[in-house]
A and B are shown apart, each in its own frame.
Chain A
């Protein structure tokens, strides 16, 4: 069982909706990540939080808005998405010194 928990597992939303993806880890990891993965492609980095501060934003469109309320939680707020944003959104955490990533099961997003 994964120690990184993501909700919801599946989400269908219209282009005008506002929704949020949530991620929680209790491994004491100080780095947390959002990745986007399309079919048959490797995960693509979106954001990195280190010690609850945003440290990397890979030029992600502003319709994706990350938030890190505390060291265990990571949210991704979604607004005015496009159908091409449909993908598997993966949250990960890392001890931060070795490069190992621990992924949640992902939230499969469909934008209609």
Chain B
């Protein structure tokens, strides 16, 4: 299994739809997880942090399943402005100086 694996997509969804992405990770010792959003030709920006079972922020919900070693990102009521690439990031064990990025999932919200 790759260290961090994501479905590359693209996910094409209509405005208002609910969409979910999964990210699987191989390091069972990982304690924290992150979702970043990256717009085309821009820098990644931290979207959500997940330290326990999950986190919710408005239309965005991140959930952690330690038993199956995956985290998910759920976006409700999709907006055109949600179109971006969503990167799953898992810190490496031992100091958090290194993290592993997933390859990213591309979301396109269609009018």
Contact = CB atoms under 8 A, between A and B. Distances in A.
Nearest to B97: A48
Nearest to B92: A99
Contacts of B17: none
Contact of B103 (A42, A90, A106): A42
Interface of B is mostly: strand
Given A90-B43, A98-B49, A105-B43, A56 B97 contact: yes
Interface of A: 2, 31, 41-43, 45, 48, 50, 55-56, 88, 90, 94, 96-106, 108
Contacts, number: 55
B16 to A, nearest CB: 28
Contact of A94 (B41, B87, B96): B96
Contacts of A48: 97-98
Contact of B102 (A42, A101, A106): A42
Contacts of A108: 41
Contacts of A98: 32, 49, 91, 96
Contacts of A88: 41
A95 to B, nearest CB: 9
Contact of B43 (A42, A45, A100, A104): A104
Contact of A97 (B43, B87, B96): B96
Nearest to A99: B91
Given A42-B101, A99-B96, 10 more contacts: A50-B97, A97-B96, A98-B32, A98-B49, A99-B32, A99-B89, A100-B49, A101-B46, A103-B43, A106-B42
Contacts of A43: 44, 101
A82 to B, nearest CB: 22
B46 A96 contact: no
Nearest to B103: A42
B59 interface: no
B19 to A, nearest CB: 20
B98 A56 contact: yes
Contacts of A41: 103
